Amino acid sequence: MSKFKNRFGPDILRTHWMLYFKSLRKILYKKISKVGKNVDIRPFVTIVGTQNVEIGDNVVLRPYTSIYADNDEGKKVIIGNDVLLAPNVYMIVNNHNYNDINLNISEQGYTYKDIIIKDGAWIGYGAVILPGVTIGKHAIVAAGSVVTKDVEDYTVVGGVPAKLIKKLDT
């Protein structure tokens, strides 16, 4: 079980079945660096690198959401308070390096960057959040978007790659 110390998800049956029972979820939450009040992680969620994940208050991680934050550099996925996450959202803090054309990409290592989702943001179904991205306060990411750059506070973005759709009235 030690190789699964900092992860849980449907591929690890011992942890996955615990997500079906609210009373047992609290055991898994202890693996996560920070978990706020009223957090609900549903079955079929995968978190790899739990020590690098922080989740604020009133957040639900819906089925098939995947968070990959496994690294030794301390790069994190930080989810603020009152964030809405639709199912099937994907977040990853690393990307392959590809600077040397004489080496296979798999031999060139990785670059790691934080992902920050600020309070009140809404991430739509199937969105992909790439390394180094900050999603602004009360921002909306449309379903199916691939977010490669920061999203300003109070804006709506969508598409592949995600682009500004409109600014919200504040």
Both structure tokens of 117: 């989702």
Q: What does the DSSP 8-state code read for residue 74?
A: -
Of the candidates 5, 26, 34, 96, the residue annotated as catalytic is: 96
What CATH number does residue 139 fall under?
A: 2.160.10.10
Q: Is 96 a catalytic residue?
A: yes
Helices in the chain by DSSP H: which ranges?
A: 13-16, 22-29
The pLDDT score that the predictor gives to residue 26 is: 82
Both structure tokens of 163: 């682009």
129, 147 contact by CB (below 8 A): yes
Cα–Cα distance for residue pair 119/112, rounded to 1 Å: 23
Domain count, the chain: 1
Which residue range forms the structural domain that includes residue 28? 2-167
Per-residue pLDDT of the chain (170 residues), as tens digits, is: 345 678 888 888 778 888 888 888 888 888 999 999 999 999 999 999 999 999 999 999 999 999 999 999 999 999 999 999 999 999 999 999 999 999 999 999 999 999 999 999 999 999 999 999 999 999 999 999 999 999 999 999 999 999 999 999 86
The pLDDT score that the predictor gives to residue 2 is: 46
